[in-house]
């Protein structure tokens, strides 16, 4: 169901993208929108992981420099049937983590020093299993494409604003002009990025639910992830992640929303599902499996 919902939302975002291209500049707008999307997707496909890791000053570690953390990820990757990802640590007190990379063979996982210092091994295993579930589901690529299309829509909206202000809306559809007038162009400029953001956030929330379930299956204990989310949510609200505040477009990558300033209105625009609901679903999953374990073999952290 989560996969079907994701594809439906991606189709809606793509349709929105092409539709705005047509409204801004007719048939020519669709061609321009397509070219922009292909170019931006190609760049993101090859470079997004390097860019985001550099953004957060992530430091790569190995078995010698971080034996406990590296060992947890190594065991979980084996459980999931995945190649060993590159492992990084981000120096910030906020407990959080994310995964990136264009494929399971090129994946990287990163955890903050706050997560490693505040959580026990079982909870760390639950969190990193969630991130490996993202890798296994290729969510990193899905969200890269989503962010790329949303960004291209914002570019078209800026063009619409510029064209509307300076009268560049002439011509008919056959000439590549916009079928809208001045007011219509300004409306598109204001509403298009908002609509794209709402769809992008809906996709992100859908993938988080799927990764919670997949992570619980990889580590074998839904309660470990539920406990981690409970503790991380409280700590994240009290600790500012300065790099995340400077780069809010990357917030959707983290397991817990790294941004401050949450509220009832802000929840509409949240990239993450309701935390209480996530925890409840995980504990319901633990109850269904009996004893909180879905593991086929004994876990080294049990």
Known binding residues for Zn(2+): 130, 134, 208
Pairing, β 108-112 against β 97-100: antiparallel
Catalytic residue status for 131: yes
Angle at the Cα of 35 (from 34 to 37), degrees rounded to 5? 65
The catalytic residue among 74, 105, 131, 276 is: 131
Distances in whole angstroms, Cα of residue 7 to Cα of each of 101, 249, 253, 298 = 20, 21, 19, 36
Q: Contact at 8 Å (CB) between 264 and 286?
A: no
Pair of tokens at residue 209: 């639910």
Q: What's the rounded Cα separation, in Å, for the pair 52 and 283?
A: 32
The candidate with the shortest Cα–Cα distance to 285, out of 204, 227, 193, 223, is 223
Give me the active site residues, please. Answer: 131
């Amino acid at each position: 169901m989560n996969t079907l919902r994701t594809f439906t939302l991606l189709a809606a975002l793509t349709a929105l993208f092409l539709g705005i291209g047509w409204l801004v500049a007719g048939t020519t707008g669709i061609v321009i929108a397509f070219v922009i999307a292909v170019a931006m997707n190609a760049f993101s496909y090859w470079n997004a992981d390097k860019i985001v890791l550099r953004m957060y000053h992530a430091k790569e570690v190995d078995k010698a420099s971080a034996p406990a953390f590296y060992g947890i990820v190594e065991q979980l990757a084996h459980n999931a049937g995945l190649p060993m990802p590159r492992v990084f640590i981000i120096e910030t007190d906020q407990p959080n983590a994310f995964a990136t990379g264009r494929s399971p063979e090129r994946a990287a996982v990163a955890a903050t020093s706050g997560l490693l210092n505040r959580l026990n091994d079982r909870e760390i295993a639950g969190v990193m299993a969630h991130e490996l579930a993202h890798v296994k589901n290729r969510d990193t690529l899905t969200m890269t494409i989503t962010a790329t299309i949303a960004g291209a829509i914002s570019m078209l909206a800026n063009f619409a604003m510029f064209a509307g202000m300076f009268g560049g809306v002439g011509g008919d559809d056959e000439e590549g002009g916009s079928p809208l007038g001045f007011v219509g162009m300004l409306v598109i400029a204001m509403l298009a990025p908002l609509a794209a953001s709402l769809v992008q956030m809906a996709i992100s929330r859908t993938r988080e639910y799927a990764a919670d379930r997949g992570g619980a299956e990889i580590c074998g204990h839904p309660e470990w992830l539920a406990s981690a989310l409970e503790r991380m949510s409280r700590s994240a609200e009290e600790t500012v992640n300065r790099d995340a505040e400077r780069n809010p477009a990357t917030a959707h990558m983290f397991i817990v929303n790294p941004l401050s300033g949450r509220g009832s209105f802000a929840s509409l625009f949240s990239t993450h599902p309701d935390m209480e609901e996530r925890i409840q679903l995980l504990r319901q999953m633990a109850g269904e499996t009996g004893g909180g374990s879905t593991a086929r073999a004994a876990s080294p952290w049990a």
